[in-house]
Amino acid sequence: MKKYIVLGLIALFAVHLSQAQSNCSSYYPLVDGANFQYTNYDKKGKEDGQITYKVTDVQSSSSTTNAIMMMEMTDKKGRAYTSDYEVTCEGDVIKIDFKSLMNEQMLSQMGDVEMDISGTDVELPNNLSVGQELPDANMEVKMKMGGGINMNTNIETLNRKVEKQESVTTPAGTFDCYVIYSETKTKMMMTNQNFPSRIWLAEGVGMIKQESYNKNGKLLGSMVLTQYSK
């Protein structure tokens, strides 16, 4: 379960699963009670768990919107992990407060563990266009577990670029999307890995689909919006 939670943090960072207010962001509606369900699939297309997000406690001022996101992750064995984290939308940029992920609720579900999260925010501007390059980002997760075991994970999101526009259909509907390519470089223990990925973003909804690949471009897994309401 500890490994599953860490992988979930990586997915959250790499795929930009924050939901932000419509007046602040064109792509992510931050409306109190909005609900988004994503289903994970393995490389063979078999269901591999779900992640559900719900927007709660939205606070807005003239230029800034803050909200709490409730996240529930369920793996294919039915094991569940829930946590709340903070999202800020300022100007026309969305930012995730990764330190807020390190809360008592999360740590209690991981057992005897201490965690520290640091890094630069993932940013997504309002005005996307084909060929546009987006800022890199990084996150470092330091874990101290029982028995003197330490595990450090560094995640970099690099070479972010808007590739194209296309329509995509999921169980939640058909959406006109921008497709954003990026590479996620992960250093965990003695292992270094680089995973290219693509996300499909629709205005007013957010992420519709995400695909991850190996270094040869073969599909490793995907995440698809299966239900949403706002």
Average pLDDT over residues 167-187: 93
Which range, 7-21, 25-39, 90-104, 211-225, is most confident?
Answer: 211-225
Question: 2-229: what CATH class?
Answer: mainly beta
pLDDT for 154: 85
Percent of the chain whose predicted confidence (pLDDT) is above 70 = 77
Helix (H, G, I), strand (E, B) or coil at 79: coil
pTM of the predicted protein model: 0.78
- Of 113 and 7, the one with more pLDDT: 113
Task: Please check the confidence at residue 179 and state whether its pLDDT lies above 90.
Answer: yes
Q: Which of 17-31, 37-51, 55-69 has the lowest mean pLDDT?
A: 17-31
pLDDT tens column, 93-139 = 677 666 665 555 555 555 566 777 777 766 777 788 999 998 888 87
Q: Which residue has the higher pLDDT, 209 or 82?
A: 209
Higher per-residue confidence, 20 vs 39? 39
| DSSP codes joined into one string, 169-187 | EETTEEEEEEEEEEEEEEE
* E strand map for the chain: 35-42, 47-60, 64-74, 80-90, 93-97, 113-120, 137-145, 149-170, 173-188, 191-202, 206-213, 219-229
Rounded mean pLDDT, 13-29: 51
Per the CB < 8 A criterion, the answer to whether 210 and 198 are in contact is yes
Q: Indicate the SS3 state at residue 59.
A: strand
Query: So what's the pLDDT on residue 213?
Result: 92
